A and B are shown apart, each in its own frame.
Chain A
Amino acid sequence: MASLDDLKKRIASVKSTQKITKAMKMVAAAKLRRAQESAEKGRPYSEKMNNVILNLSNGISDKENAPKLLSGTGQEKTHLCVVMTSDRGLCGGFNSNIIKKAKSYFAKISDEGKELKIITVGSKGNDQLKRVYGDKIIENISFKESKNANYFDADKVGKMVIEKFEAGEFDICTIFYNQFKNVITQIPQAQQIIPLNNEGEENSSEESYEFEPDEDEILSNLLPKNISTQIFKAMLENSASEQGSRMSAMDNATRNAGEMVDKLTIEYNRSRQAAITKELIEIISGAESL
């Protein structure tokens, strides 16, 4: 059995760890509220954007000559995967969930004999992927400096993706991120952004629009913006998920630390009592022998 002094030290150390996890939980909770708010505020933009594109793509008469971002290159040879993770750790299964989802997709692609390229956003994803898929990662972006997800950063990623698409470096682009459902549930998502996947969505309005200039020109202007918007949406969802995940992870850690302190305290008290009893017995038996 550990000595009294050791136990005391352990209790103190667990308690100070508990303080840290508790503080982290508080911070995550505060950040979560902000992240959730901005995720909600950002929703109208991406929804409207989607709507307009839907209307436009239905209005296009010449599907053959539609912009490539919409209809694809006609091949499915090279896949680009944008894996979006956090820059910080200690957030439970947040990063590993995305990685797991991405890895199963990667395996499927290589089984089909297609080429794979990876862009990682956020350093944690890069750390986990580079061991196995190091040679596939063509780009790694991290936004450690920016405090909150902002459109400017998303635009940078979007522009890079489009540049690579126009250079013919890939045919299909998929982004991986965590969708925020609630504090304890985040669903890892794989969303195809190039070519745009609109199947299954019905056009809600029968109304015909006037276009100025014509559909093709508007579409070719709009589609690149839509890429950035989708990436931005993913970033917002991700940051809300990250904070939510961290909050529940830290909550668990705090609770576990509490349990551990209780257990150690009981052990400490027991061994203290045992030591006292032992001393008493020694004194009494010493007195008796006189």
Chain B
Amino acid sequence: MSEEFKIEIVNPEKSFLIKEDVLEVVVPAFEGEMGILKDHIAIISFLKPGIITIFSKEGNEKFFVEDGIIEFKNNNLSILTSSIFNLKDVSENKIQDLLKSAEEEIKKDEITDQKKYLADQKIEVLRSIN
């Protein structure tokens, strides 16, 4: 039996990626990284800034997300996100820009703990990309 399942990433503007033959997906869920294999239990969770890694036969792909929701059901993984890009295509400048805006956000006084946590995460991940 094959160990493959389907993944679909959508952002508000379009379907970002659809792949039928994925072996494993690692997503940065809010409470920690989560690896999803075939026949995972139906789950809904949301994402913190981080890297989505998709493993398939052709190798793996990495994407940076800022936020999103994942839904896994009947071997269909849907990821809804408003901000995602492929690590291969992203330029150094873009990462620097994101890093800068996150750093600025964290300096604000009236920031909630949760927002601060998310911004912290973002900085950490962006630094690790560089």
Contacts and interface: CB of A to CB of B under 8 A. Distances in A.
Interface string A105-149: 000000000000000000000000000000000000000000000
Contacts of A151: 11-13, 82
A212 B42 contact: no
Interface in B54-74: 67, 69, 71, 73
Contact of B73 (A42, A45, A150, A207): A207
B30 A212 contact: yes
B11 A222 contact: no
A55 B14 contact: no
B78 interface: yes
A209 B12 contact: no
A70 to B, nearest CB: 15
A52 B14 contact: no
Nearest to B81: A45
Contact of A48 (B29, B46, B67, B80): B80
A55 B13 contact: no
**Centre residue among A42, A45, A228 by max chain B CB count within 10 A:** A45
B15 A155 contact: no
Interface string A16-50: 00000000000000000000001001101110110
B44 A45 contact: no
A199 interface: no
A210 B41 contact: yes
B95 interface: no
A44 B12 CA distance: 8
Contact of A38 (B13, B30, B34, B45): B13
A45 B44 CA distance: 15
A274 interface: no
B39 to A, nearest CB: 13
B89 interface: no
Contacts of B14: 38, 41-42
B43 interface: yes
A218 B10 contact: no
A232 interface: yes
A44 B16 CA distance: 11
Contacts of B73: 205, 207, 209
A154 B13 CA distance: 11
B109 interface: no
Contacts of B42: 207-210
B31 interface: yes
Contacts of B11: 45, 151
B13 A218 contact: no
Contact of B46 (A44, A45, A222): A222
Given A38-B14, A218-B69, A225-B82, 19 more contacts: A42-B13, A51-B71, A52-B44, A52-B80, A151-B11, A151-B12, A151-B82, A155-B82, A208-B42, A209-B44, A209-B73, A210-B43, A212-B30, A212-B31, A213-B31, A213-B45, A218-B45, A225-B69, A232-B12
Interface of B: 8, 10-15, 29-31, 34, 41-46, 67, 69, 71, 73, 78, 80, 82
